[in-house]
């Protein structure tokens, strides 16, 4: 028996490969199928099943393509309905893979079809539980993503309580826990950076499993939930209905365009120009109206949060050699309509004599000097509310990147704004969005709050008695 966790850090997602006696199964595979087909060819085994723990919201699974290429059966738990061929299993149904057995445990709560897969070894002993989004390390799945009709998040939380207590916590303490996500995923709120645990460890340290009553559990798992990213519902539909073949998506997107052809493609398709270079590289020179979301960060989740329509055409500017990677990472969250990339990048754009825009970027020391010269400067903190409330620059206003489209009307284009986040990634995204919307007076702070704090030249507060929002900022400016 072989178990392999295939973890993708940028999505904080874990897929799984199980092999026994020449037969294999995958659990929650990602969109690109090549790594999986290459693996089974190398091992000389046949893929028998593709198990899906639920209809994923934060990424497009590779189950449809992988099943077509391998002949494997796609398996979902009760209540699932798909537009493609799949096996909808019953609670407790067992599947043989070589000498091991995989038993489906229906565990509704995160979603109505959510299921875990219990792996029994060759001797029939419970060995590992693949928990999907039902149980994470240190957390459980959020119950607000699959509300349907009269079913509320409280109803789902109550179902989750029963699933955990009746199906999971009764398992032996030594059973290994393999979740679908780790820290950084928006599918929970308190996930550990660890990606493997045991049932016994989770009983001791997972706040949700320590809740003494149903009501306490419901309160704890629903308290403090943030608004789910807008692309979640669209990814769920793709996972239910199917999608374009990944090879078709790559052929369409990995299309080298000269500066002239790039400009034409953008104009003809009304494409969003997405520049995925590092923030400071972007600041030094970019195509006007480009949005910067760097590949070397939480790329896919931020694309999903900020580009509303999955069918939006996208024109790419990438670091050299990372064009295909960018198209694949966009496809993982359902953005299948790249029109191509700028061949030769910004150097080619400049050489063609095309217009170049810039964002001014300063150090934390320079921010301190600007504030000392004028304490009335406007400083926007692009971090999430919770980050801002825990510790912040006393002079800063909270302007979370998550809600930029909701709050942009609270800013004035004639004002100058200094922008920072935790480390410089999100503030440059914010700066690029504001610049594309006509805000000319933007100054980014390199290194973000971390650099500001380390410089030690501006007053901080570790408790925000009244987090000053953008709407309060608007009132002050009026």
Q: Give the H or E element holding residue 3.
A: strand 2-8
The answer on 365 and 308 residing in a single domain is no
Q: What is the CATH number of the domain that holds 64?
A: 3.60.15.10
- Which of 297, 329, 351 corresponds to the end of one domain? 351
310 located within any domain:
yes
Residue 227: the pLDDT is 78
Residue 154: the pLDDT is 94
- Which of 351, 377, 407 corresponds to the end of one domain? 351
Q: pLDDT tens for the chain, 478 residues: list them.
A: 999 999 998 889 999 999 999 999 999 999 999 999 999 999 999 999 999 999 999 999 999 999 999 999 999 999 999 999 999 999 999 999 999 999 999 999 999 999 999 999 999 999 999 999 999 999 999 999 876 678 999 999 999 999 999 999 999 999 999 999 998 888 888 899 999 999 999 999 999 999 999 999 999 999 988 778 889 999 999 999 999 999 999 999 999 999 999 999 999 999 999 999 999 999 999 999 999 999 999 898 899 989 999 999 999 999 999 999 999 999 999 999 999 999 999 999 999 999 999 999 999 999 999 999 999 999 999 999 889 999 999 999 999 999 998 899 999 999 999 999 999 999 999 999 999 999 999 999 999 999 999 999 999 987 544 444 444 344 344 3
Q: Which domain holds residue 438?
A: 360-477
Angle 299-306/323-331 helices, nearest 10 degrees?
Answer: 60
The answer on 373 and 335 residing in a single domain is no
325 located within any domain:
yes
Kindly report the pTM of this predicted structure. 0.90
Residue 468: the pLDDT is 41
Q: In this structure, what token pair is assigned to residue 366?
A: 């320079």
239 located within any domain:
no
Count of other CB atoms within 10 angstroms of residue 316:
27
- Furthest-apart CA atoms within the chain: distance in Å: 74
Q: What is the CATH number of the domain that holds 304?
A: 3.40.250.10
The answer on 260 and 391 residing in a single domain is no
240 located within any domain:
no
Residue 147: the pLDDT is 66
The answer on 178 and 53 residing in a single domain is yes
CA 310/CA 332 separation, integer angstroms: 11
The answer on 322 and 292 residing in a single domain is yes
The answer on 291 and 184 residing in a single domain is no
Residue 474: the pLDDT is 45
As for how many domains the chain has, the answer is 3
The answer on 270 and 227 residing in a single domain is no
367 located within any domain:
yes
The answer on 74 and 219 residing in a single domain is yes
Q: How far is CA 331 from CA 31, 132, 145, 249, 338, in A?
A: 7, 21, 21, 8, 9
58 located within any domain:
yes
The answer on 9 and 131 residing in a single domain is yes
Angle at 354 between CA 348 and CA 355, to 5 degrees: 125
- Which of 233, 264, 280 corresponds to the end of one domain? 233
The answer on 100 and 39 residing in a single domain is yes
CA 478/CA 470 separation, integer angstroms: 12
315 located within any domain:
yes
238 located within any domain:
no
CA 222/CA 121 separation, integer angstroms: 36
The answer on 463 and 336 residing in a single domain is no
């Amino acid at each position: 028996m072989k178990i392999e966790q295939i973890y993708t850090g940028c999505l904080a997602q874990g897929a799984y490969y199980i092999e026994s006696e020449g037969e294999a199964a995958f659990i929650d595979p990602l969109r690109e199928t090549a790594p999986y087909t290459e693996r089974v060819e190398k091992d000389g085994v046949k893929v028998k099943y593709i198990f899906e723990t639920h209809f994923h919201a934060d990424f497009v699974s590779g189950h449809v393509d992988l099943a077509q290429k391998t002949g494997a059966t796609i398996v979902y738990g009760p209540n699932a309905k798909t537009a493609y061929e799949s096996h909808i299993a019953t609670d407790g149904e067992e599947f043989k893979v070589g000498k091991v057995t995989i038993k489906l445990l229906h565990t509704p709560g995160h979603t109505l079809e959510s299921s875990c897969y219990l792996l029994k070894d060759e001797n029939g002993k419970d060995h590992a539980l693949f928990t999907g989004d039902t149980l994470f390390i240190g957390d459980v799945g959020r119950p607000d993503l699959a509300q349907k009709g009269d079913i509320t998040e409280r109803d789902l939380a109550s179902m989750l309580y029963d699933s955990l207590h009746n199906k999971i916590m009764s398992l032996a303490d030594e059973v290994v826990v393999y979740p679908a996500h780790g820290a950084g995923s928006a599918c929970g709120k308190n996930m550990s950076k660890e990606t493997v645990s045991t049932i016994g460890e989770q009983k001791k340290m997972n706040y949700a499993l320590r809740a003494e009553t149903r009501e306490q559990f419901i309160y704890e798992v629903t308290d403090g939930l943030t608004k789910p990213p807008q692309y979640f519902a669209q990814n769920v539909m793709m996972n239910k209905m199917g999608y374009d073949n990944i090879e078709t998506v790559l052929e369409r997107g990995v299309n080298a365009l000269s500066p002239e052809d790039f400009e034409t493609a953008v104009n003809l398709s009304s494409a969003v120009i997405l520049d995925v270079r590092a923030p400071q590289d972007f600041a030094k020179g970019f195509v006007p109206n480009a949005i910067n979301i760097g590949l070397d960060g939480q790329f896919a989740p931020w694309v999903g949060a900020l580009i509303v329509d999955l069918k939006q055409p996208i024109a790419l500017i990438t670091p050299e050699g990372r064009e295909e990677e960018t198209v694949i990472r966009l496809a993982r969250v359902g953005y299948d309509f790249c029109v191509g990339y700028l061949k030769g990048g910004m150097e080619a754009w400049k050489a063609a004599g095309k217009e170049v825009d810039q964002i001014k970027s300063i150090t934390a020391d320079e921010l301190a000097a600007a504030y000392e010269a004028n304490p009335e400067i406007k400083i926007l903190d692009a971090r999430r509310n919770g980050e801002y409330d825990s510790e912040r620059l006393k002079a800063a206003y909270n302007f979370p990147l998550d809600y930029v489209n909701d709050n942009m009307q609270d800013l004035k284009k004639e004002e100058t704004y200094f922008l920072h986040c935790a480390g410089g990634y999100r503030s440059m995204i914010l700066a690029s969005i504001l610049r594309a919307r006509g805000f000319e007076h933007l100054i980014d702070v390199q290194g973000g709050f971390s650099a500001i704090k380390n410089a030690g030249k501006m007053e901080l507060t570790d408790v925000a008695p009244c987090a000053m929002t953008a709407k309060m900022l608007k009132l002050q400016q009026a």
